[in-house]
Amino acid sequence: MSQPEASITRRRLFASAGAATAAVAVASLVPSTPEPAQVEPQPSPQEGQRKGYQLTEHVQRYYQTARV
């Protein structure tokens, strides 16, 4: 009865060694993360400027081409 237990542990050893090898291979392919770039603050919108949706000329041209 001791022989089946030995084969199970041997299987676990080989399975875990294979999984560890695969993990090392994947980890070596993943590039390291670069440091985040410095972001300059955006100027706040002034009184005359609007934020959000604006119906501009190119938007109106798109609406004309999209009509069915």
pLDDT digits over 33-66, tens only?
Answer: 666 677 777 666 666 666 788 889 999 999 999 9
Is there a domain that residue 16 lies in? yes
In a domain, 22, yes or no: yes
Q: How many structural domains is the chain composed of?
A: 1
Tell me how long the chain is: 68
> What is the rounded distance in angstroms from the CA atom of residue 45 to the CA atom of residue 27?
45
Query: Do the domain assignments include residue 60?
Result: no
Q: Which pLDDT tens digit goes with each residue over 13-42?
A: 888 888 888 888 888 877 776 666 777 776
The pTM score is 0.36
Instruction: Assess if residue 11 is contained within a domain.
Output: yes
Domain extent, residue 3, equals 1-31
> Do the domain assignments include residue 21?
yes
* Residue 59 falls inside a structural domain: no
- Find all residues with CB under 8 Å of 58, minimum gap 6, and list them: none
With a CB cutoff of 8 Å and minimum separation 6, the contacts of 51 are 45
Is there a domain that residue 24 lies in? Answer: yes
